[in-house]
Amino acid sequence: MTDTVIIACPHCGGLNRAPVARLEAREAPNCGKCHAALFDGHPTELVTAEAFDRLVGKTDIPVLVDFWAGWCG
């Protein structure tokens, strides 16, 4: 395991290198580009393939994805 992980910002899409020790200590990192919290406890809506790839495809940490559609039950 490496000492850092890459986390994509759900607000601006910036890529952030975060120390694993900070995450394990439950310290909430902020984005280095827009300074917003990287984990704000709210779902992020990804409406394009590009947005999905930017936020999910470039992140080193596990991501829970819930695919949903209004026409699907």
Domain count, the chain: 1
Q: Is residue 68 part of a domain?
A: no
Q: What is the pLDDT of residue 6?
A: 92
Q: Is residue 73 part of a domain?
A: no
Q: Tell me which residue range forms the domain holding 31.
A: 4-57
Q: Is residue 64 part of a domain?
A: no
Q: What is the pLDDT of residue 58?
A: 82
Q: Is residue 69 part of a domain?
A: no
Coil vs helix vs strand at 23 = helix
- Helix ranges (H only) for the chain are 20-24, 49-52
Instruction: Go through the chain and tell me how many residues it has.
Output: 73
Which DSSP state fits 4?
E
pLDDT in tens, the chain (73 residues): 579 999 999 889 899 999 999 888 888 899 999 999 998 888 888 888 988 888 888 888 888 888 888 887 6
Residues 6+ positions from 57 with CB-CB distance below 8 Å? none
Q: What is the pLDDT of residue 1?
A: 54
